[in-house]
Amino acid sequence: MIFSKIIETPIGKMLACSVDEGICLLEYYDNPKLEFKLNKLADELNDSVAEQSNNAIELLENQLGEYFEGNRKAFSVPLHLVGTDFQQKVWNYLLTIGYGKTITYKEQALAMGDIKSIRAVATANGANKIPILVPCHRVVGSKGSLTGYSGGLWRKEFLLDLESHQYKIFNGQA
């Protein structure tokens, strides 16, 4: 069974989904593609979605609250990344980008070993099923421009501003 629950956040409602292995989806509830993404996830996992929470979702809800309050820089909730091998490699790389830091798509492609894969890397970032926890919002355009974010650029800007401000506080700069 795929467990699911709507979680309230300062940037809107999010639908959290989890299986026994961990969180497998965290999507903005106002995303017009939400139903498609949910159906695709159910197909990929060969399971059905139930409107019922579980321990991973409850932990996620608590940790998201702490994150938005500025009291959490890293998440410990278990994740279950559902995607191709390449997508999982890209998403695992995203997990290495530090809180309050940003990199460019070009830097990500280079770090993953192939500058020519920049479009494929950007596409895989866009296919991330667990934003915030798998921090695709920390990847920006070549001149620091905000580009591409499934939740909308205003949310990406909010998250980067939150982390940038909190990063300064955590490092005694504010």
Residue 123 has pLDDT above 60, yes or no: yes
Mean pLDDT, range 155-174, rounded to an integer = 73
CATH code of residue 156: 1.10.10.10
The CA-CA-CA angle for residues 163, 160, 129, to 5°, reads: 105
* In contact, 125 and 105? CB cutoff 8 Å: yes
The verdict on residue 113 lying in a domain is yes
In a domain, 74, yes or no: no
Q: Residue 28's domain spans which residues?
A: 2-69
Annotated catalytic sites, by residue?
136
Give the pTM: 0.90
Relative orientation angle of helices 85-94 and 118-126, to the nearest 10 degrees? 80
Residue 115 in any domain: the answer is yes
Residue 23 near residue 60, CB atoms below 8 Å: yes
Q: Give 60-82 pLDDT, tens digit per residue.
A: 999 999 999 999 999 999 999 99
65 with 128, same domain: the answer is: no
CA distance 161 to 167: 10
